[in-house]
Amino acid sequence: MIPDPIRAGLAAGWKVTDASALEGDLVLEADVAIVGTGAGGGVTAEILAEAGLDVALVEEGPLKSSSDFRMVEAEAYPQLYQESAARKTRDKAITILQGRSVGGSTTVNWTSSFRTPPATLAHWRERYGLRDFTPEALAPWFERMERRLAVAAWEVAPNENNALLARGAERLGIATAAIRRNVKACWNLGYCGLGCPTNAKQSMLVTCIPAALARGAQLICLARAERFALRGGRAEALVCRALDARGVHATGRRVTVRARHYVVAAGGIGTPALLLRSGAPDPHRVLGARTFLHPTVAAAGLMSGPVAAWAGAPQTLYSDHFLERGPIDGPIGFKLEVAPLHPLLLGMTLQGFGPAHAALMKDYPHVHVLLALLRDGFHAESPGGNVGLRDDGSPVLAYPLNPFIWDGVRRAYLAMAEIQFAAGARQVLPLHERATPYATWTAAKAAIEALPLEPLLARVMSAHVMGGCAMADRAERGVVDPLGRHFQLENLSIHDGSVFPTSLGANPQLSIYAVAARSAAALAATLAGKPAVPGA
């Protein structure tokens, strides 16, 4: 029997409220209220609780833990993902995978751990006045979080899905490198995306959040932060709606949290949406703007030998070759990684229907999928998207896919196909409604060069929502300052991926951890009088 630290903590008396079961409205007081329990909220909760502050965490999703994680897609997507993993951009052209349970996306991510690339930081220093964001100045924060979350080299051999990327790339003289992972005693199962059943993944769910709860923090789950009551440039209360057990409908009960300070960490869509619903001041019209996704396209390689892409650590190798070929603010570059494959999501994502689709699915054990994550936000023609609200107050991201992005998509399809053929693929199938399996690199190249690139034809996905509440040196070009403090609301901070002024060019979790830790330590120093040192 695998010990479940969450169930043990609940039995030990952690202060956790399941808002779906509330029979009346609830009013809570705390020193700091934190909205969201993902990478930003989790880290912040631990640091503030350690500083002796009374912390209340509000989470829209449920509290699920290793005992619940049965590695079954039909259970995991509704429980652990925003909109049952069916969240899409307004035109439905981009599918967005975001976590929604205690631990946020860290509960379902694939453990890929990268420090913020130096070229990204240099761009932020130049364009957004983030003078302190040098690799050297941030190194202690990265080190602190890497230590805390056991980020380390992965010593086990890559699974075949990852090995194929390295093999194909090597034959073409394209460099690949190893991805570090935040795991302890990992079983190499391959189901990170459905919640880690062995607690090996050092997500917020099993690290910072239990630590904060053990220090007396309170957690309210299945409560959606609806709006702040704002007055005189301050937040006076956070009003939340209790949700039913599925997290779908409001029950009518309200949870109100009154705090000295509020930290919003609801992610690149949730955070701007909460501020928009609250009518937060936005004198320079930057709130919810410049939201980035690493728009991601995919190609399936049909291999002769078994791949079994459902098994083994999902992402252990990558290539930045196509990020490093040109200047960061030139034509859009892309990072190459692989995707673990599980049948429900694969069946939904593969184009076509009838016998052609069925034939591809019967080849599932031989399917290898490469991903190209486009580095958006560094060029004038890559302004990202805008978060807005539907009539019911729910958030929606409009993200226009323009010729600048499509140029990168075409290059990415070509690069992926060439690598897959070099790795021995029998056929390569770009995930695009007009694409079919191509039997040679020559045929694939000709077909990809002619593919119409339009929304809803190319399959575009994102698992990385960034920006929308950018940090900057001054209010004209950002929502928060370099320590995450809101420019117009004096007792409100933002500690999540929404503060990034561009995308990262790398999977975001470690960047969010480090930047949130830096901001949280400064906040703890202000509120509790403790010094903000990274080694703490």
Partner 1 sequence: MLSRRRFLKFGLGGGLLLAAAGVARGQRRYVPASGAEPLAILDGGDRAVLAAIAPVLLEGAGDVAGNLEAIVGSVDRAVIGLPPHLQAEVKQLFALLGSWPGRRLLAGVCAPWGEAGRAEIAAFLERWRFSRWRLQQQAYQALHELVFAAWYARPDTWPAIGYPGPPEVR
Across 307-333, b (16+ Cβ under 10 Å) vs e yields bbbbbbbbbbbbbbbbbeeeebbeebb
Work out whether 304 is an interface residue with partner 1 (CB under 8 A).
Answer: no
Contact with partner 1 (CB under 8 A): which of 132, 236, 433, 449? 433
Question: In the set 131, 147, 325, 390, which binds partner 1 (CB under 8 A)?
Answer: 390
Which residue lies nearer to partner 1 by CB, 134 or 251? 251
- Contact status, residue 452 vs residue 371, Cβ threshold 8 Å: no
Q: Give yes or no for residue 533 binding partner 1 (CB under 8 A).
A: no
Which residue of 8, 137, 177, 361 would you call a contact of partner 1, by CB under 8 A?
Answer: 361
Query: Measured from the CB of residue 433, what is the shortest distance to partner 1 in angstroms?
Result: 6
How far is CA 174 from each of CA 167, 248, 324, rounded to the nearest angstrom? 10, 46, 11
First to last CA, the chain: 34
Minimum distance between the CB of residue 459 and partner 1, rounded to whole angstroms?
A: 10
Q: How far is the CB of 36 from partner 1 (least distance, A)?
A: 17
Report the SS3 class of residue 81.
strand
The binding track of 166-195 with respect to partner 1, each residue x by CB under 8 A or -, is ---------------------x-x-x----
Q: Which is nearer to partner 1, 364 or 441 (CB)?
A: 364
CB atoms within 10 A of CB 214: 14
Residue from 11, 74, 380, 450 touching partner 1 (CB under 8 A): that is 74
The residue (of 27 and 456) whose beta carbon lies closer to partner 1 is 456
Residue with tokens 């420019």: 487
Candidates 149, 166, 65; CA nearest to 112 is 149
C-alpha separations of 293 from 326, 385, 410, 504 in Å: 20, 8, 18, 10
Binding residue (CB under 8 A) for partner 1 from 52, 140, 365, 400: 365
The secondary structure of residue 107, as a DSSP letter, is G
Task: Give the range of 77-85, 177-185, 205-213, 509-517 binding partner 1 by CB under 8 A.
Answer: 77-85
Q: Cα separation of 33 and 22, whole Å? A: 19
Residue nearer to partner 1 on the CB measure, 139 or 456: 456
Lookup result for tokens 């093999």: 167
SS (H, E, C) 452-507: CCCECCECEEECCCEECCCECCCHHHCCECCCCEECCCCCEEECCHHHCCCCCCCC
Q: Which range, of 131-139, 234-242, 246-254, 289-297, touches partner 1 by CB under 8 A?
A: 246-254
Residue from 216, 233, 236, 246 binding partner 1 (CB under 8 A): 246
Binds partner 1 (CB under 8 A): choice among 23, 136, 155, 392: 392
Site residue total, partner 1 (CB under 8 A) = 47
- 417 is written with which tokens? 């196909």
Q: Which of 3, 21, 29, 91 binds partner 1 (CB under 8 A)?
A: 91
Query: Does the footprint of partner 1 cover residue 310 (CB under 8 A)?
Result: yes
Binding flags for partner 1, 329-358, as an x/- string (CB under 8 A): --------------xx-xxx-x--xxx-xx
Can residue 156 be called a binding residue for partner 1 (CB under 8 A)? no
- Residues 243-273: b if buried by 16+ CB within 10 A, e if exposed: beeebeebbebbbbbbbebbbbbbbbbbbbb
CB 106 to partner 1: min, Å: 20
The minimum distance between CB 534 and partner 1, in angstroms, equals: 36
For the bound state, the minimum distance from the C-beta of residue 533 to partner 1, rounded and expressed in Å, comes to 39
Cα atoms in the Cβ-side hemisphere of radius 13 Å centred on 417: 26
Q: What span, in angstroms and rounded, lies between the C-alpha atoms of 254 and 256?
A: 6
- Closer residue to partner 1, CB minimum distance, 157 or 456: 456
Q: Which tokens sit at 351?
A: 């184009």
- CA Rg value for the chain: 22
Considering the complex, what minimum distance in angstroms separates the CB of residue 472 from partner 1? 32
- Smallest gap from Cβ 232 to partner 1, in A, equals 34
**HSE-up of 254 (CA within 13 Å, CB side)?**
10
Minimal distance, residue 340 CB to partner 1, in Å: 12
Q: Select from 175, 177, 456, 536 the one that contacts partner 1 (CB under 8 A).
A: 456
Beta strands in 217-271 (DSSP E): 218-221, 223-231, 234-243, 250-264
Identified binder of partner 1 from the candidate list 10, 26, 86, 239, rule CB under 8 A: 86
How far is it between the farthest Cα atoms of the chain?
Answer: 67
73 binds partner 1 (CB under 8 A): yes
Beta strands in 314-424 (DSSP E): 317-318, 334-338, 367-374, 386-389, 395-398
- List residues near partner 1 by CB under 8 A: 1-2, 70-74, 77-78, 83-84, 86, 91-92, 187, 189, 191, 197-198, 246, 248-249, 310-311, 343-344, 346-348, 350, 353-355, 357-359, 361-362, 364-365, 390, 392, 394, 433-434, 455-456
